[in-house]
């Protein structure tokens, strides 16, 4: 088996060793992706091996990422793997959410069950392992929160030094708190995500620090495991729709690559269609897919949304996301009010998620209303982050104090505020009887 990096940019296609420390094609600046040549195991055998590993106590087999390691064989030695037993996330039924979106059945694959509470762990275990394999000492990323929380944890586990750069004042406390606890050197920069990414790319090159943003092709390899595990859990029955929120568009890129590799190797019988949902105030990919493509990709220089995980105006992976969505897929945008209400509905299912994740349900509801998704379609939406990431948002919504980025108030349609009661059993009894 030969693993190598290839330029994603069409006319170029240059190839590089998998051990070269590059994040873009040195020839043309295009995105890179990992590719593999060589014999592939027969589909039935692979499915069998993956099932058997669920009963194993070996750390790699217990990981919901490395269990599927045949699909991303870029490491030569297992000892380089840094795992916190990521993945292994459930697919959950959600009746209330289904009726809210006016579909028969929507299921959620909840990546918030990961060790640091978001899908970033699926990618970070791969990126951090590659850093170890390359002998790097320091790793860095810019983050809207979850990437830094995840990178800090995996770097700490690997004995690497994590350096994170975050937009000052624009990050949920749950996420910042994690990065501090895991020991990351944390720099709060007075700039937005896209501006800091430009800085950190130069810094990593200058100082020999390994960059772990999603432009890193190995993170994409790890995130492929989300669709692989999903298919395994569905006994290889492909859903009609996989729905995912879009920020920097690394996740949709990984889903598209993962699904098409499963399809090419005969592990699934058809391709799922993908729906990417963006927040209206940070929706450059939605605009691009809506308008005639000859205008090119236009970045949003002032992205705004309370769903901070998808507050990105210049998503690096848009060419890969474009390929993933193809002609069959859909891209939609949803408002702050729609996200907030959808989030509360997901909460009422006993599931819960962070704001960015709820864009999926809001998007399905909108696409269903427009007739673009059918009521009987088989839908799996990916909840990207844990409910505890952003408790401040939850409290404000349920007490009707949530305000959009422009100061407009968001209505607590499904508000469930706490009630203050006196220290008086009679009064409390009365209240509960009423």
Site residues, Zn ion (CB under 5 A): 7, 9, 12, 14, 25, 27-28, 30
What's the sign of the alpha-carbon dihedral 323, 254, 112, 174? negative
Choose from Zn ion, ligand PLP, none: what does 12 bind? Cβ within 5-8 Å by kind: Zn ion
Instruction: At 398, give phi and psi (nearest 5°).
Output: -75, -15
Shortest distance, position 285 Cβ to Zn ion, whole Å: 22
Contacts of 113 (CB under 8 A, 6+ apart): 88, 89, 90, 386
Which of Zn ion, ligand PLP, none lies near 162, with the C-beta cut-off 5 to 8 A by kind? none
CB of 356 to ligand PLP, least distance (A): 4
Strands 32-37 and 2-7: antiparallel
Distance in angstroms (rounded) separating the CA atoms of residues 388 and 149: 13
Residue least distant from ligand PLP (Cβ): 385
Task: Choose the contact partner of 30 out of Zn ion, ligand PLP, none; CB within 5 to 8 A by kind.
Answer: Zn ion
Closest distance to ligand PLP from the beta carbon of 264 (Å):
23
Q: How far is the CB of 120 from ligand PLP (least distance, A)?
A: 6
**For residue 410, how far is the Cα from the chain centroid?**
25
Q: Provide the binding-site residues for ligand PLP, judged by CB under 6 A.
A: 118, 120, 146, 214, 245-251, 309-310, 354, 356-357, 384-385
**Nearer to ligand PLP (CB atom), residue 121 or residue 232:** 121
Q: Which is nearer to ligand PLP, 118 or 378 (CB)?
A: 118
Name residue 3's beta-bridge partners.
36
Token representation of residue 16:
């590089």
**Burial of 335 from C-beta contacts in 10 A (0-12 / 13-18 / 19+):** middle
Q: Give the Å distances, CA to CA, from 1 to 259, 321, 383, 416.
A: 20, 27, 34, 55
Instruction: Give the nearest distance from C-beta 38 to ligand PLP in angstroms.
Output: 29
Nearer to ligand PLP, 46 or 305 (CB): 305
> Which one of Zn ion, ligand PLP, none is in contact with 118 (Cβ closer than 5 to 8 A by kind)?
ligand PLP
Q: How far is 30 from 266, CA to CA, in rounded Å?
A: 29
Q: How far is the CB of 149 from ligand PLP (least distance, A)?
A: 9
Indicate the residue among 25 and 356 with the shorter CB distance to Zn ion.
25
Residue 281 binds which entry of Zn ion, ligand PLP, none, CB below 5-8 Å type-dependent: none
Which residues pair with residue 274 across a beta bridge?
242
């Amino acid at each position: 088996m030969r693993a190598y990096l290839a330029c994603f940019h069409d006319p170029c296609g240059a190839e590089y060793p998998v051990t070269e420390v590059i994040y873009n094609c040195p020839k043309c600046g295009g995105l890179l992706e990992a590719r593999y040549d060589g014999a592939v195991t027969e589909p039935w055998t692979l499915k069998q091996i993956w099932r058997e590993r669920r009963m194993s106590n070996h750390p790699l087999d217990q990981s919901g990422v490395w269990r599927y390691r045949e699909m991303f064989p870029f490491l030569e030695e297992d000892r380089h793997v840094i795992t916190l037993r990521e993945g292994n996330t459930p697919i959950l039924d959600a009746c209330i959410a289904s009726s809210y979106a006016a579909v028969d059945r929507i299921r959620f694959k909840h990546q918030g069950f990961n060790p640091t509470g978001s899908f970033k762990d699926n990618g970070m275990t791969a990126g951090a392992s590659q850093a170890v394999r390359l002998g790097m000492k320091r790793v860095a990323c810019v983050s809207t929160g979850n990437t830094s929380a995840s990178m800090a944890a995996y770097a700490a586990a690997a004995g690497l030094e994590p350096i994170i750069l975050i937009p000052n004042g624009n990050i949920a406390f749950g996420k910042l708190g994690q990065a501090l606890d895991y020991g990351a050197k944390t720099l709060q920069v007075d700039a937005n995500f896209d501006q800091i990414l430009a800085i950190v790319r130069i810094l990593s090159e200058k100082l020999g620090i390994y960059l772990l943003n999603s432009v890193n092709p190995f993170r994409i390899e790890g995130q492929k495991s989300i669709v692989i595990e999903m298919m395994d859990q569905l006994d290889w029955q492909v859903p009609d729709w996989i729905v995912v929120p879009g920020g920097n568009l690394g996740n949709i890129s990984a889903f598209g690559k993962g699904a098409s590799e499963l399809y090419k190797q005969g592990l699934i019988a058809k391709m799922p269609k993908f729906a990417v949902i963006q927040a209206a105030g940070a929706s450059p990919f939605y605009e691009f897919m809506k308008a005639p493509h000859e205008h090119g990709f236009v970045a949003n220089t002032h992205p705004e949304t309370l769903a901070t995980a998808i507050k990105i105006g210049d998503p690096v992976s848009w060419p890969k996301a474009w390929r993933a969505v193809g002609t069959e897929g859909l891209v939609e945008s949803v408002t702050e009010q729609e996200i907030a209400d959808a989030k509360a509905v997901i909460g009422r299912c006993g599931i819960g998620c962070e704001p960015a994740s709820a864009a999926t349900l809001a998007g399905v509801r909108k696409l269903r209303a427009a007739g673009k998704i059918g009521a009987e379609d088989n839908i799996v939406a990916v909840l990207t982050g844990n409910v505890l990431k952003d408790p401040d948002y939850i409290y404000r919504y349920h007490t009707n104090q949530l305000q959009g980025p422009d100061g407009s108030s968001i209505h607590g349609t499904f508000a469930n505020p706490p009630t203050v009661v006196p220290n008086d059993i009679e009064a409390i009894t009365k209240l509960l009887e009423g």
